[in-house]
């Protein structure tokens, strides 16, 4: 694949790194829901970052739109 | 009960009901009848709540992609709205969502409880197994989820889902990586662990809880089905019916329904053409049963303008069975029979010839579903039947109009018949023997 191929999104790269560096400590749980519980904090953290990025992006888009509307 | 009362007095339920996210609920605190009601084992109720009757209980394995998606979005909307009011749900199951007046609403009002500061989303895993993974299976892999959900009331296991979903989507999208790949790996590693310390109960701030819900909502809202188009989708346009026949059928159905049928079951109803005729003729609720997913997606779109229309994914030759603990948790079709009338138009040949259902059994089954009905008998001379018989031996000796009428009359009285102009089909209106 050439360097000009599909670019890796920086957020995706960060998430892959996070996934690779996560250790799996041995807890005494056998209930699958518990596993979900422990990963949920991380997932929710990433979601909060995504939500923040989305909100900033929408604000910037909104700013440009407003300017364009003003020009019209 | 104290938790419910606290939220009730705070107006949380009322707010969610007014937003259309929860089923209408009245607390019959002062009602005289409330004091006379007892539980299954004679328990005296702490409170008695009254809801409008749900016209037809359907389950996630009977929903199309768009229906499950609508239920998921409604569920997340409810959770987001509840969190703003300092309330949370104790679970996240689509079985608690039902179509009420054409809108997906939470019916388990007791699953709402006060939000504890720092608590995590207890229903996250359940949401993924029962809402998210089935939607992804159709959106990413193009595979219908209904058989898998019917196979397990707990939904899809994450470990199984990762084998069915494309690796590109699971690894190269943040949502896929987080909610599917990472989630599955954690679930698996913890289910394998046998020894070790018990971790302290983890916590997370409310802002993260909200972000988890809102980002899932954004993602799910953008999902679309990649399932290949189904055969019967073009049926309504490209079939052997003459226009005259269709008009005659519509007139016959409208006349039949106008004589009194509030709830109509339209078996093999495709995209709900005759259900709409029934609704226009005075029926309040029409349930369209079909196994064709694309046809039902059209019916679901029509529900927007016709809230009385309810699509249900069901193969009439293999209706939903009773499932769950003691086979009493989720009723089969037979346990949910309550229609005033059934319509079985252009269905007999599909079941009798396509599925080898004996005509007598078929006639008796139709009559068992409702006290009245309209059935269309499609003879062997019909081009559709000829096409079905072209590739197989005709062993259907009693699939004749005369025999079918005789079988029907064993359990019902034939009230009216009409011969369609083309194809020799016969419309039969009947009334069950009392």
The pLDDT of B307-324, averaged and rounded, is 97
pLDDT bin (cut points 50, 70, 90) of residue B192 is low
Confidence at B191, pLDDT banded by 50, 70, 90? low
Name every residue whose Cβ is closer than 8 Å to that of residue B197 and which is 6 or more positions away in sequence.
Answer: A27, A28
On the question of pLDDT at B350 being above 80, the answer is yes
Closest-CA distance of chain A to residue B192, Å: 7
DSSP assignments along B289-354, one per residue: EES-HHHHHHHHHHHTT-TTEEEEE-BTTBPPPPBSGGG-SB--TGGG---SEEEETT-HHIIIII
Strand partners, B311: B288
ipTM of the complex: 0.75
Helices B293-303 & B65-84 angle (0-180, nearest 10)? 40
**A59 Cα to chain B: minimum distance (Å):** 17
Q: Which range has the worst mean pLDDT, A22-31, B308-317, B344-353, B390-399?
A: A22-31
Res A48 pLDDT > 70: yes
Q: Which residues of A touch B (CB under 8 A)?
A: 9, 11-12, 15-16, 19, 22, 24-48, 50-51, 54
pTM for the structure as a whole: 0.89
pLDDT of residue B431: 97
Can you say whether residue B418 is alpha, beta or left, with left for phi > 0 and alpha for psi between -120 and 50 degrees? Answer: beta
- Residue B316 corresponds to which tokens in the numbers above? 């009439």
Classify residue A37: in a domain, yes or no: no
Q: SS3 for A57?
A: helix
> With a CB-CB cutoff of 8 Å, which residues 322-341 of chain B face chain A?
none
pLDDT attached to residue B240: 54
CB contact under 8 A, B172 and A36: no
For residue B235, pLDDT beyond 90: no
Of the listed ranges B2-6, B338-342, B404-408, the one predicted with least confidence? B2-6
B244-278 tens-digit pLDDT: 889 999 999 999 999 999 999 999 999 999 999 99
Q: Is residue A4 a part of any domain in this protein? A: no
- Contact between residue B283 and residue B262 where contact means Cβ atoms under 8 Å apart: yes
Q: CB–CB of B259/B374 below 8 Å?
A: no
Cβ within 8 Å, pair A27-B209: no
Going by their DSSP bridges, the two strands B112-114 and B263-267 should be labelled as unpaired
Predicted pLDDT of residue B425:
93
Judged by average pLDDT, the poorest of B131-135, B213-217, B237-241, B347-351 is B237-241
Find chain A residues with C-beta within 8 A of B211's C-beta. Answer: 44, 47-48, 50-51
Q: Does B225 touch chain A (CB under 8 A)?
A: no
Q: Does any domain span residue A13?
A: no
* Statement: residue B310 has pLDDT above 60: yes
Interchain pair B120, A29: CB under 8 A: no
Q: What is the C-alpha separation between B17 and B203, in angstroms, rounded? A: 29
B67-87: per-residue pLDDT in tens? 999 999 999 999 999 999 999
- Is the pLDDT assigned to residue A57 strictly greater than 60? yes
- Which of A16, A36, A41 lies nearest to residue B125, judging by beta carbons? A36
Two structure tokens written together for B240: 């052997």
Is residue A61 included in any domain, yes or no? yes
Domain assignment present for A31: no
Dist. CA B4–CA B84, nearest whole Å: 17
Please tell me whether residue B399 adopts helix, strand or coil conformation.
coil
Q: For residue A67, give its domain range.
A: 46-72
- Region B55-69: what's the mean pLDDT? 97
- Asked whether the predicted pLDDT for residue A30 surpasses 50, the reply is no
Confidence band, pLDDT 50/70/90 cuts, at residue A16: very low
User: Residue A11 falls within a domain, yes or no?
Assistant: no
Percent residues over pLDDT 90 in chain B: 81
pLDDT over 90 (residue B65): yes
CATH class of B232-432: alpha beta
Where do the H-state alpha helices sit in B48-166? 65-84, 124-127, 133-140, 146-151, 158-164
Contact list in A for residue B217 (CB cut-off 8 A) is none
Supply the pLDDT for residue B423.
Answer: 75
| Facing A46 at nearest CB: one of B157, B174, B202 | B174
Residues B357-398 pLDDT 10s = 999 999 999 999 999 999 999 999 998 899 999 988 898 999
Sequence spans of domains, chain B:
56-222, 232-432
Domains of chain A: total: 1
A5-16: average pLDDT: 47
Q: Is the pLDDT of residue B132 over 80?
A: yes
Q: Strand B112-114 vs strand B87-89: parallel, antiparallel, or unpaired?
A: antiparallel
pLDDT reported for residue A14: 46
CB proximity B403 to A under 8 Å: no
């Amino acid at each position: 694949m050439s360097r000009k191929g599909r670019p890796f999104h920086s957020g995706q790269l960060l998430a892959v790194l996070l996934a690779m560096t996560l250790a799996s400590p041995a807890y005494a749980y056998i209930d699958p829901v518990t596993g979900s519980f422990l990963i949920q904090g991380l997932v929710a953290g990433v979601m909060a970052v995504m939500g923040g990025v989305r909100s900033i992006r929408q604000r910037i888009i909104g700013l440009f739109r407003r300017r364009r509307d003003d020009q019209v | 009960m104290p938790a419910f009362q606290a939220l009730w007095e705070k107006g949380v339920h009322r707010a969610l009901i007014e937003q259309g996210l929860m089923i209408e609920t009245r607390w019959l605190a002062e009602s005289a009848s409330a004091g006379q009601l007892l539980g299954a084992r004679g328990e005296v109720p702490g409170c008695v709540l009254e809801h409008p009757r749900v016209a037809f209980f359907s389950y996630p394995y009977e929903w199309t992609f768009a229906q499950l998606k609508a239920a998921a979005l409604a569920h997340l909307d409810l959770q987001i709205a509840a969190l703003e009011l300092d309330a949370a749900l104790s679970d996240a199951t689509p079985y608690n969502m039902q179509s009420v007046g054409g809108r997906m609403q939470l019916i388990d009002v007791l699953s709402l409880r006060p939000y504890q500061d720092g608590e995590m989303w207890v229903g996250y895993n359940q949401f993924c197994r029962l809402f998210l993974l089935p939607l992804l299976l159709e959106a990413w892999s193009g595979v219908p989820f209904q058989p898998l959900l019917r196979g397990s009331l707990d939904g899809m296991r994450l470990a199984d889902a990762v084998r069915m979903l494309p690796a590109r989507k699971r690894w190269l999208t943040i949502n896929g990586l987080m909610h599917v790949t990472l989630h599955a790996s954690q679930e698996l590693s913890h289910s394998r662990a046998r020894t070790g310390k018990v971790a302290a109960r983890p916590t997370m701030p409310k802002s993260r809880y909200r972000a988890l819900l809102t980002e899932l909502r954004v993602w799910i809202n953008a999902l679309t089905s990649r399932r290949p188009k189904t055969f019967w989708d073009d049926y309504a346009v490209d079939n052997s019916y003459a226009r005259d026949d269709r008009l005659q059928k519509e007139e016959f159905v409208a006349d039949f329904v106008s004589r009194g049928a509030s709830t109509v079951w339209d078996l093999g109803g495709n995209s709900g053409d005759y259900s709409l005729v029934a609704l226009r003729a005075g029926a309040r609720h029409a349930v369209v049963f079909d196994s064709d997913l694309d046809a039902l997606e059209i019916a679901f779109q029509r529900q927007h303008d016709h809230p009385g229309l309810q699509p249900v994914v069901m193969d009439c030759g293999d209706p939903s069975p009773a499932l769950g603990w003691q086979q009493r948790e989720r009723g089969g079709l037979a346990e949910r029979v309550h229609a005033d009338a059934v319509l079985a138009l252009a269905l007999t040949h599909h079941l009798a010839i396509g599925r080898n259902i004996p005509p007598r059994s078929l006639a008796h089954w139709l009559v068992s579903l409702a006290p009245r009905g309209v059935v269309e008998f499609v003879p062997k001379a019909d081009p559709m039947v000829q096409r079905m018989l072209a590739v197989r031996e005709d062993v259907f000796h009693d699939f004749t109009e005369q025999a079918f009428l005789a079988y029907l009359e064993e359990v019902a009285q034939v009230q009216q018949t009409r011969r369609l102009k083309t194809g020799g089909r016969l419309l039969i209106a009947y009334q069950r023997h009392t």
